């Protein structure tokens, strides 16, 4: 009876329609329904019900639908990341590829095509990786799974570049001045594939195709994986749990909100986002238009710059009621701070590079008691937590009462 029940549970986990709607919430509801039904057949034995629950959950987690559990380990797996962190890491590699293409001599850039939908990339990865007997689960995105996800991403996103000379004719052939010229146009082409195109490329089985159909049937659930603001990183958990018990609530909320983007959003010169929650534009290939950076005029995945990150944090920590820079950048943010000493620093205070060329948020201290800063770093191309190296001044935002 127990073996039959376990097999039924495993079979149920492979019933795609039951386990994808509304992501994990639907998984839990479906699991509860099946467990209750099987418990009725078994006479309601407590031990058997427990075994059924374990078997069913294990079957779901080991299936392609385990992708909905990725990043929900509470930081217990050291090298595991959430889907949003994985996306930012791969977008960073994509950015490097674009930067390499920009190194050729050119006068202007034209970009054709767009990246594959990240939700579809995750769905294909989940089905390919966990959709057969020889596969591995996708409930934990460790280094091995991240490498597999990266391979799927590049299989669905081909990027090429070509420089083409374009001759601009003489504007006035009747005068004596020949102002014709030849422009070197760099054309970057992104050729993306859909999840449906990848079925044939990977020769999916009937079960894999069924699982892919069900995953694709709820694009909102897939998008929520790639755009999650849930804190999942082990270091972020350590920082949050180590905050002083008597820390003012508004300061705690600023730090908690900052940690939501830890490892998830790439650096983009001039990148701002005064909106609540995740910005769907993050990750989309966009031209850098803000002046003053070596990246100006290039294309890269959209994200935030250092002051844009600080703006987003305070805006979201206050439910959209406070804009710390009042429309400016790091320098403006500094002007709305009161100078304090490093010894007075508290989580939520701001730190600055010389001449306000960079800004970060004090988020806590490390095990040795040294201040730590969370900031959107151009060097790391992500939101990172570091020490205070490079930061030379500190200010207390007027927003705080203490």
- The answer to whether residues 205 and 238 belong to one domain is no
Percent of the chain at pLDDT exceeding 90: 70
Q: Name which of 324, 331, 321 is nearest 309 in CA terms.
A: 324
Percent of the chain at pLDDT exceeding 70: 83
Higher-confidence residue of 18 and 159: namely 159
Domain-embedded: residue 43: yes
Q: What is the pLDDT of residue 9?
A: 39
- The answer to whether residues 156 and 189 belong to one domain is yes
Q: Name which of 370, 382, 378, 328 is nearest 353 in CA terms.
A: 378
Could you tell me if 309 and 383 are in contact, meaning their C-beta atoms sit under 8 angstroms apart?
yes
Cα maximum dimension of the chain: 100
Could you tell me if 295 and 287 are in contact, meaning their C-beta atoms sit under 8 angstroms apart?
no
Give the containing element (helix H, strand E) for 371.
strand 371-377
Cα three-residue angle 335-341-342, rounded to 5 degrees: 110
Higher-confidence residue of 43 and 373: namely 373
Which residue's structure tokens are 């102002």?
A: 179
Domain-embedded: residue 94: yes
SS3 content of the chain, % helix, strand, coil (to 5): 45, 15, 40
Domain-embedded: residue 12: yes
- The answer to whether residues 100 and 52 belong to one domain is no
How many domains are there within the chain?
Answer: 3
Domain-embedded: residue 75: no
Higher-confidence residue of 172 and 338: namely 338
Predicted confidence (pLDDT) per residue in 108-156, tens digit = 999 999 999 999 999 999 999 999 888 899 999 999 999 999 999 999 9
Query: What average pLDDT score do residues 329-355 get?
Result: 96
Report the half-sphere exposure of 369 (CA within 13 A, side-chain side). Answer: 2
- The answer to whether residues 386 and 306 belong to one domain is yes
Q: Name which of 35, 36, 65, 69 is nearest 52 in CA terms.
A: 35
* Confidence category of residue 4, pLDDT binned at 50, 70, 90: very low
What DSSP state is assigned to residue 267?
B
Q: 338 is written with which tokens?
A: 């009161």
Domain-embedded: residue 360: yes
Predicted confidence (pLDDT) per residue in 173-221, tens digit = 888 788 888 999 999 999 999 999 999 999 999 999 999 999 999 999 9
Higher-confidence residue of 52 and 185: namely 185
Q: What average pLDDT does the structure give for the chain?
A: 86
Higher-confidence residue of 176 and 320: namely 320
- The answer to whether residues 222 and 240 belong to one domain is no
Which residue's structure tokens are 């003489």?
A: 170
Distances (CA, A) of 139 to 13, 66, 126: 14, 5, 9
Domain-embedded: residue 402: no
What DSSP state is assigned to residue 393?
E
What DSSP state is assigned to residue 292?
S
Q: What is the pLDDT of residue 132?
A: 86
Could you tell me if 371 and 387 are in contact, meaning their C-beta atoms sit under 8 angstroms apart?
yes
Q: Name which of 66, 48, 57 is nearest 2 in CA terms.
A: 48
Could you tell me if 66 and 138 are in contact, meaning their C-beta atoms sit under 8 angstroms apart?
yes
Higher-confidence residue of 183 and 54: namely 183
* Confidence category of residue 19, pLDDT binned at 50, 70, 90: very low
- The answer to whether residues 273 and 379 belong to one domain is yes
* Confidence category of residue 401, pLDDT binned at 50, 70, 90: confident
| Residue 50 domain boundaries | 2-62
Structure pTM? Answer: 0.82
Most confident of 8-17, 43-52, 254-263: 254-263
């Amino acid at each position: 009876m127990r073996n039959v029940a376990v097999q039924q549970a495993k079979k149920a986990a492979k019933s795609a329609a039951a386990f994808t709607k509304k992501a994990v919430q639907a998984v839990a509801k479906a699991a509860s329904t099946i467990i209750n039904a099987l418990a009725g057949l078994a006479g309601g034995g407590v031990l058997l019900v427990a075994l059924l629950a374990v078997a069913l959950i294990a079957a779901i987690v080991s299936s392609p639908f385990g992708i909905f559990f990725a990043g929900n380990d509470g930081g217990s797996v050291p090298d595991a990341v959430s889907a949003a962190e994985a996306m930012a890491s791969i977008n960073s590699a994509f950015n490097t590829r674009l930067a390499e293409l920009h190194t050729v001599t050119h006068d202007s850039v034209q970009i054709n095509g767009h990246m594959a939908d990240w939700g579809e990339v995750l769905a294909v990865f989940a089905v390919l990786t966990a959709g057969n007997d020889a596969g591995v689960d996708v409930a934990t995105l460790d280094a091995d799974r991240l490498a597999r996800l990266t391979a799927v991403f590049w299989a669905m996103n081909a990027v090429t570049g070509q420089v083409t000379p374009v001759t601009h004719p003489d504007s006035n052939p009747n005068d004596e001045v020949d102002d014709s010229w030849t422009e070197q146009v760099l054309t970057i082409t992104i050729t993306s594939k859909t999840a449906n195109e990848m079925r044939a490329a990977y020769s999916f089985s009937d079960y894999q195709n069924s699982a892919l159909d069900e995953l694709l049937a709820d694009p909102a659930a897939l998008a929520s994986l790639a755009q999650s603001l849930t804190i999942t990183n082990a270091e972020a958990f350590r920082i949050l749990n180590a905050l002083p018990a008597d820390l003012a609530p508004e300061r705690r909320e600023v730090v908690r909100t900052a940690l939501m983007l830890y490892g998830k959003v790439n650096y983009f010169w001039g990148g701002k986002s005064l909106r609540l929650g995740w910005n769907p534009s993050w990750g989309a290939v966009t031209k850098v238009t803000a002046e003053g950076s070596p990246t100006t005029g290039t294309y890269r995945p959209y994200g935030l710059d250092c002051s844009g990150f600080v703006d987003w944090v305070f805006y979201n920590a206050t439910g959209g009621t406070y804009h710390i820079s009042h429309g400016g950048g790091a320098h403006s943010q500094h002007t709305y701070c009161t100078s304090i000493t490093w010894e007075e620093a508290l989580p939520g205070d701001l730190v600055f590079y010389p001449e306000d060329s960079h800004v970060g948020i004090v988020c806590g201290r490390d095990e040795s008691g040294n201040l730590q800063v969370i900031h959107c770093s151009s060097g790391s191309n992500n939101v990172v937590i570091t020490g205070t190296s490079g930061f030379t001044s500190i200010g207390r935002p007027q927003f705080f009462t203490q």
